[in-house]
Each structure stands twice: as structure tokens, then as C-alpha cells.
Chain A
Amino acid sequence: MIALPARSPEGVITSEGLACDLLCFATIEQYPKLVRAFKNAGFQMAIDVCGVDYLEQMDRPLPEGVVATRFEVVVNLLNMVKKERVRIRVQAGTDNPEVASLFDLYPGVEAMEREAYDMFGILFSKHPDMTRILMPEDWEGHPLRKDYGVGRVPVQFKEAPGPR
């Protein structure tokens, strides 16, 4: 487990994560500053950004002091020199989730943030191109939300033999 980098915002709660060197919990306000501190500390690459909808898991186990919200944005950063991985879990809000975009720091998150918007409806402010990416343009709803149905069509076998 590594320490938080210099000039991290105050009040960031850290813990030991599974298969990563540091797991941080940030609020919406702390998030951009924290990522900037990590970038200055040598984390060159934002390897992954994704959203999670915890609609049915509002009482999930979190370290003390973290206020759980319905949506989380999970960011994985990579330090290619020291070979360290850091995971940041941002509590992104419940009703109208919106967090700052990391595009200024890591231009490579552009597509991943668009995907999180498309699938969960999480907005990323200051993102240059906040559009859908995977679903058709006129689609309604955000499919990976827990209150969105799977869209399963009941299967009916035609000319199937009757029950034995």
C-alpha cells in the first residue's frame, strides 16, 4: 500500500484494495484535485473509467466517513515507472450524477466517459463531446442502470414437441 501523493485534497479516505496498490474514496469535489495530484506524482495513464449503479446496494460496506450514493465512478490509474495501480471510487451522486471530466488531464478517457454517460447517464462536466457512443442516438434510457430492464424477449419454440 502506497501513500497519497503530495497536495492531495484533504479528507480523502484510503484503504487497501484488492489487486491494487491503493484504493481511494473521493467526493465529487475532491475528485479532480486528487486525480491531478496523482498525475503529478507520476501516474501517466488513466487505464479505465467506468460507472457503477448501486441502486440495490445503498448499504454496501464502505470505510467509515464515506457517504454512499447511488452512482459511483471508478477510475483506475497506472504508474508505468513504479508499476503501481491506484483505484479511485468517486461517489457521484444519486439523482443527477455529475462529476468533472478528466479530459484535460488524460485525453484518453474521452471514449470511456462517453460510455459511462451512455450506459448510466452520469454526466461529465467540461467533456468536449458528451454524446451517446454505443446506443443509437434516439435511444431512451441508460441500459446498464439497475432499474432498466434487461429487455428479454420470451423465447417460444415453434413446432416444438409437446410435453412428454
Chain B
Amino acid sequence: MALEDLQHNFLTGRIEDLVKWARRASVWPATFGLACCAIEMMAAGAADYDLSRYGMEVFRNSPRQADLMIVAGRVSQKMAPVLRQVYDQMMEPKWVISMGVCASTGGMFNNYAIVQGVDQIVPVDVYAPGCPPSPETLMHAILTLHEQIRTGEIMKRRESGTPTHLGHDNGNWTPEVPVSVRLGTPK
């Protein structure tokens, strides 16, 4: 039987699965390039690596149109409030990839100027290692995130509580108020 003989094509599925499938296939990243990693992020979007295979080639300049913030590079104390503001402007559902060791832990710059891990300011879903991560590493992080979206829950808002790796009893975690922003002068 040829396809044109079919009168009605239809798929059935649970609405949850469909929503997750659709979300996963069109995650639009916000351009949040900070340092070295931003160059690799641009390379990932360009010819050789071609992020558009995953429905992600549209880097949105306005945070309100973006679903994913790729924090690409080191976050300074001066940048931290700006980063938080951009994150707050993004619509739910939203995800964060911390790209590179500087964004994830401060990296080799353990000093007064750099926020030691962007997870002190915004909740992070996937950490991409490397200094800078090659485009392949970034793509792996993105695919990991896709898998998280596919297997996650759709109705659950981002918890204002603890990120998973800290465990649920950690009382020090208050991401709604940016804790590390303007830490003040180290002594």
C-alpha cells in the first residue's frame, strides 16, 4: 500500500511525551557568550559542527525568546547581577548549561574577581568540562540536556530549592536571592 492511499495519518501518544518531544527538538539558546568558551560556542553553531541538526541554530539575542542559557566563560563579580537578571528575564521552562570549568567552578582563577561556580547564582542542569570545551563537548552537554528533557517532567516548575547534586537537606542554598553577587571585599 502506497502512502497516498492512506486517508488519515495520525500518531497517538500521551500529551506529556509529545510536549517533551517537541521541547527537546527546539531548544533555543540565548547568546550569553562571556569569554573563550563563547568562541567555541560560535564554532559549534558554524559550519563544521552545525548545531542546527538539533533544532538549535537559532541563538536568540533576547532572553525572553530563549529556553536555554549557555553560560560560556568565567563569571566575574561585576557580571553576576547581570547574569542573574538575564536569567530572570527568560521564560519558563528554562535550562542552564554551565560551559567550561570557569563557569562551573571558577577554574584556575580562584581569586577575588571570579564567582566560584555559576551555580551559586543560577541553577545549572548540565556542566560541560574543559578549558575551553571543544564543540564536541558542548554538543555532548546539549544532548545530555535533551535526554534530561525527554525523561523529565513537564509540569514541574524549576524548584526554588536545592540543585540535585547538593541533596535536599542543604539549608545553605537560596538561589532566588543571588548569594554570591557582590560578595564584598575578601580579607
Contacts and interface: CB of A to CB of B under 8 A. Distances in A.
Contact present between A and B (CB < 8 A): yes
Interface of A: 134-136, 138-141, 143, 148-153, 155, 158
B111 A151 contact: yes
A82 B186 CA distance: 47
B157 interface: no
12 contacts: A135-B78, A139-B185, A149-B186, A150-B110, A151-B186, A152-B110, A152-B111, A153-B106, A153-B110, A153-B116, A155-B105, A158-B165
Contact of B182 (A138, A151, A152, A153): A138
Nearest to B181: A136
Nearest to A151: B112
User: Most chain-A CB neighbours within 10 Å: which of B106, B165, B186?
Assistant: B186
B3 to A, nearest CB: 53
B171 interface: no
Tier of interface size on chain B = 10 to 19
Interface in B101-116: 105-106, 110-113, 116
Contacts, number: 36
Contacts of A151: 111-113, 186
Given A136-B78, A158-B165, A150 B185 contact: no
A158 B166 CA distance: 9
B184 interface: yes
B182 A141 contact: no
B110 A136 contact: no
Given A143-B112, A150-B111, A136 B165 contact: no
B26 interface: no
Contacts of B110: 150, 152-153, 155
Contacts of B106: 153
B77 interface: yes
B179 to A, nearest CB: 13
Contacts of A150: 110-112, 186
B185 A140 contact: yes
Contacts of A158: 165-166
B77 A136 contact: yes
Interface in B146-187: 165-166, 182, 184-187
Nearest to A157: B105
A151 B67 CA distance: 34
Nearest 3 A/B pairs, CB to CB: A151-B112, A151-B186, A140-B185
